[in-house]
Amino acid sequence: MKYLSTRAATDSTERKRFCEILLEGLAPDGGLYLPESYPQVSDATLTRWRTVYHEQGYAELAFEVLSLFIDDIPADDLRALCEKTYTAAVFGTGEIVPLRHLENGLWLEALSNGPTLAFKDMAMQLLGNLFEYELARRGEELNILGATSGDTGSAAEYAMRGKKGVRVFMTSPYGRMSPFQQAQMFSLMDENIHNIAVDGVFDDCQDMVKAVSNDLAFKRKYKIGTVNSINWARLMAQVVYYFAGYFQATKTNAEQVSFAVPSGNFGNVCAGHVARMMGLPIDNLVVATNENDVLDEFFRTGVYRVRGSADTHETSSPSMDISKASNFERFVFDLLGRDGARVKALFDDALAQDGRFDLGADPAFGQAATRYGFESGKSTHADRLATIKATFERFGMMIDTHTADAVKVARQHLQPGVPMIVLETALPIKFAATIVEALGREPDRPAKFEGIEALPKRVTRMAADADAVKNYIAQHCP
Ligand SMILES: *Cc1c(COP(=O)(O)O)cnc(C)c1O
């Protein structure tokens, strides 16, 4: 399997292999990598995978799916990496992504039982093992520099802790993450993990990361890399749980299911799109947003309008608070018949000049729903509170704020006879304040996180200054 950029000219023959793009972020032309074509899963293969999943487990299914996208890691090595990643010890349950029934036709797929209690562990844990493997093979090192407002940073740190050849420098806005999230990150004592609390907001952190990455000499000298959600390997790892959810909800390949996905940067639901393109019988992909409804607006109207920081809302489902959706370009590439020049014009020119583009009048836009199965909806703070309360009262099940957004929107798109699987993206303990607001009680806390807030913390406070972070990195790289 070879990969191309979403901004590649139609006649371009530039292609890369998996391990080349693994450690890279954006393509040099500013686009995102996608497989040259989507591998097709036949009915016979789907039947075989169903048995593989039920009899051999999630890791073996992951190996099967990943093998279609990776041809430059020997099969035995890839299988070992999957087996090392998807274990009951790491994900708290042998099923890895158990499906639970809510009500008639509505299911919840639990993706949040990994080390940081958010679905980002599903991909990040694999990424940690892939990075360590590939860096050792090359005899190289990598310094991951990132900015986080919560889930991404902790998932990256728990994936990379103790890994050979990798250091993590994670910036976060001082005092702005939930106490639980701060405790998760700052209590890590691993030598290769560096927490940097910045006096500023998340955008300041992101600006610092950009400034450092734009200093090409520094970037090269210190081997600076990223693990953000545009990394293809993360998206690819997420494809697996769409198959696993399907095999749990159905008995035969003749059945279809739909998925409802709490969405921010469009990484999670884009993996569903890839699974659907591979031939997984998915009826609809329901994109759920919170008040930051960039994506819902697009799927309703064809207008993609990036928000400024002034009209990006701080909500109680903060991991969906986005001003633009960094993975969305991947879907637009497919929607426009893989016309890289046109994608480049939209994302490079139109967005830069006008902050928006409008596909509403383009015949291709209608295909987002008819051919690709996309639907969307929006949820507000009041919806979240009501959904969390109703779900707890009716089913005795506590769901987090992001998952609640998707449950709310999923109910509006239920079709008779088609199971709707809501992806659970975090556990409620991560967003305790809103749970208390909805239920009048604290969320359940997994035993291993008892007393985490009282643990010693390892964090360096810093002004919002790119030079300060450069100095820090230089001092901590031998
Ligand atoms: C990251 C995240 C999301 C959004 O996922 P995308 O892939 O960016 O769409 C939703 N919920 C939670 C809890 C998250 O951490």
For 306, other C-beta atoms within 10 Å of its C-beta total 16
Best mutation site among 228, 230, 268 for ligand 1 pocket (most ligand atoms within 8 Å of CB) = 268
* Ligand 1 probe mutation, 425, 427, 431, 434, most atoms within 8 A of CB: 425
When pLDDT is cut at 50, 70 and 90, the band that residue 14 belongs to is confident
pLDDT greater than 80 at residue 373: yes
Pick the atom of ligand 1 nearest to 120's CA. Answer: 15
279 — alpha (psi -120 to 50), left (phi > 0) or beta? left
* Model confidence at 294: pLDDT above 80: yes
Q: Give the per-residue pLDDT at 176.
A: 85
The pLDDT value recorded for residue 179 is 86
CA 263 – CA 270 distance, rounded (Å)? 10
Is residue 120 flagged as an active site residue?
Answer: yes
Q: Could you tell me where the DSSP H helices lie in 345-478?
A: 351-354, 363-370, 381-395, 401-411, 432-439, 466-475
Confidence of residue 161 (pLDDT cuts 50, 70, 90): very high
Give residue-wise pLDDT tens across range 424-434.
999 999 899 99
Pocket test for ligand 1, best of 227, 265, 292, 316 (most atoms within 8 A of CB): 265
Please name each of the domains of the chain with its CATH number. 96-117+232-439 (3.40.50.1100)
* Cβ atoms of 260 and 422 closer than 8 Å: yes
CA of 263 to the centre of ligand 1 (A): 6
Q: For residue 12, is pLDDT > 80?
A: yes
List Cβ neighbours of 49 (8 Å cut-off, separation of 6 or more).
Answer: 41, 61, 64, 65, 243, 247
pLDDT digits (tens, 9 = 90+) for 113-146: 999 999 999 999 999 999 999 999 999 999 999 9
Higher pLDDT, 411 or 214: 411
H helix or E strand, kind and range, residue 115 = none
pLDDT in tens, 52-110: 999 999 999 999 999 999 999 999 999 999 999 999 999 999 999 999 999 889 999 99
Task: Report the number of secondary-structure helices (H) and strands (E) in the chain.
Answer: 21, 15
Cβ 161 vs Cβ 155: under 8 Å = no
118 lines ligand 1 (CB under 6 A): yes
- Distance separating alpha carbons of residues 440 and 176, to the nearest angstrom: 23
Residues 235-240, mean pLDDT to the nearest whole number: 98
Q: Is the pLDDT of residue 309 over 80?
A: no
Side chain identity at residue 215, one-letter code: D
Q: What pLDDT sits at residue 257?
A: 98
H helices of 222-373, in order, are 232-249, 267-278, 294-301, 328-335, 340-344, 351-354, 363-370
Q: Cα torsion for 30, 32, 35, 38, to the nearest 10°?
A: -130
Q: Is 319 in the pocket of ligand 1 (CB under 6 A)?
A: yes
Cβ–ligand 1 distance for 151 under 6 Å, the answer: yes
Surface-to-core class of residue 361, CB atoms within 10 Å of its CB (0-12 exposed, 13-18 middle, 19+ buried): exposed
Q: Which residue in 2, 16, 84, 120 is the catalytic one? A: 120
Ligand 1, atom 2: nearest CA belongs to which residue? 319
Query: Can you point out the beta strands (E) in 61-105?
Result: 99-103
Say yes or no to pLDDT of 444 above 90: no
SS3 of the chain: helix, strand, coil, percent, to 5: 50, 15, 35
Q: How far is the CA of 297 from the centre of ligand 1 (A)?
A: 18
pLDDT 10s digits, 167-202: 999 999 998 888 888 999 999 999 999 999 999 888
pLDDT at 367: 97
